[in-house]
Amino acid sequence: MGDKLTAADSVADAERRIYAAPALEKGLDILEMLCRSDTPLSQKEIAKQLGRSVSEIYRMVSCLLERNYVSQVDENTYTITTKLYELSHVNPPTQRLLFEAMPVMQRLAKELDQSCHLTVYSQGKQLVLAKVDAPSGMGFSVRTGSELDVLISASGRVLLAFQNSETTKLWIEESIQRRPDQSNPQIEIILGTIRKIGYESVPSVQVRGLYAVSFPILDTQGRALAAITVPYAERIDQNQRKSIPEVTSLLGTAANTISIKVGGAARSALSV
């Protein structure tokens, strides 16, 4: 019996060798290492931790740089970019997010008679994945597919706040590179406040008279997959219109509902 198992194992090992892809495995090893590292690594450090020579990984790192999976921090060190994160949201996770979010967003828009939209981060900007207009037809809304700024918007700051420190730092750098005029020395303090209260609620700095309330859609680790936002437009002809605190409460409930539906965690279950 033991001999038969040994023979079977030998056949399996032989098959694995036939279909092995050493170059691909080296590239994946490098990506996985950089994903797990809290700090940028040099090629020498990568090679040492993988038990390989620098010459073995040089071409792999160059290819990953060219394809934008890895970025060069300085002359000697490298770090992971957000490309893997972005690809993970293309399909099917993004499709599931939209599938679960749209009914919740439609109910929310109807209850508030305000529009709402869903955004994700993408290389220094936000992309509007979905939006629902105010049922009455009067209000402020953004177009699906629009690109929005990050550092000065409620939704952008929410996306920045609910990430690990390395990702937040990288996204801030990318956002400043895209819009240097929006650099803010107080951004870390602002993001700390957002993490503490769990959302952002501020007057718009882009549209006069608009008030933006935004909550994160969280994964199991408490990181923002997306942000759901209500651009609150006041109506002077409606005395019974819901107040900003009421909007905040209902939007927070909607965000929690979507987070749970996509397999993430509600804010109350996390220490933020």
Residues 6+ apart with CB under 8 A from 259: 216, 217, 218, 219, 265, 266, 267
Q: What is the pLDDT of residue 17?
A: 57
Q: What is the pLDDT of residue 3?
A: 47
Which strand (E) or helix (H) includes residue 133?
none
pTM for the model: 0.64
Q: Looking at the predicted structure, is the pLDDT value of residue 178 above 50?
A: yes
Given phi > 0 = left and psi -120 to 50 = alpha, else beta, which region is 51?
left
Give the phi and the psi of residue 210 in degrees, each rounded to 5.
-105, 145
**Which tens digits make up the pLDDT trace of 181-238?**
999 999 999 999 999 999 999 887 776 668 899 999 999 889 999 999 999 877 655 5
Question: Domains of the chain, with CATH numbers?
Answer: 2-81 (1.10.10.10), 87-269 (3.30.450.40)
Q: Looking at the predicted structure, is the pLDDT value of residue 23 above 50?
A: yes
Sign, CA torsion 68/71/76/77: negative
Cβ-contact 213, 251 below 8 angstroms:
yes
**Which tens digits make up the pLDDT trace of 85-120?**
777 656 557 888 999 999 999 999 999 988 999 999
Sign, CA torsion 102/104/107/108: negative
Q: What is the pLDDT of residue 50?
A: 93
Residues 6+ apart with CB under 8 A from 206: 149, 152, 153
